[in-house]
Structure 1
Amino acid sequence: MDAIDEHNGHDLLAGLEENVARLVEQLTECRKENELLKAEVSSLQNILRSFKLPGTEGPSAEVQGGAGDGLSYAGMLQIKQKLVLVLQKIERELRGEKAGF
Structure 2
Amino acid sequence: MQDFDGQNMTGDVSLLEKNIELLVARLTDCQQENDVLRSELSSLENILRNYKLPGTLGSSAVDVCGTPAGALGYAEKVQVKQKLVLILQKIEMELRNNQALS
TM-score, scaled to structure 2: 0.65
- The one-letter code sitting in structure 2 at the alignment partner of 1:67 is C
Deviation for aligned residue 1:66: 5.0
Q: Which consecutive segments of 4 or more residues in structure 1 shift more than 6 A?
A: none
Distance across 1 between alignment mates of 2:43 and 2:55: 20
Q: How many residues align?
A: 94
Partner of 1:67: 65
- The one-letter code sitting in structure 2 at the alignment partner of 1:36 is D
Partner of 2:87: 90
Q: Which runs of 5+ in 2 are unaligned?
A: none
Structure 1 residues 21 and 27 mapped into 2: Cα distance closer, same or farther (>3 Å)? same
Partner of 1:32: 31
TM-score, scaled to structure 1: 0.65
Q: Which runs of 5+ in 1 are unaligned?
A: none
Structure 1 residues 56 and 67 mapped into 2: Cα distance closer, same or farther (>3 Å)? farther
2:74 pairs with one of 74, 77, 81: 77
Partner of 2:51: 51
Partner of 1:15: 14
RMSD, aligned α-carbons: 3.0
**Identical residues among aligned pairs (%):** 14
Q: Which is worse superposed, 77-86 or 13-22? A: 77-86
Structure 1 residues 89 and 43 mapped into 2: Cα distance closer, same or farther (>3 Å)? same
The secondary structure found in structure 2 opposite 1:60 is: coil
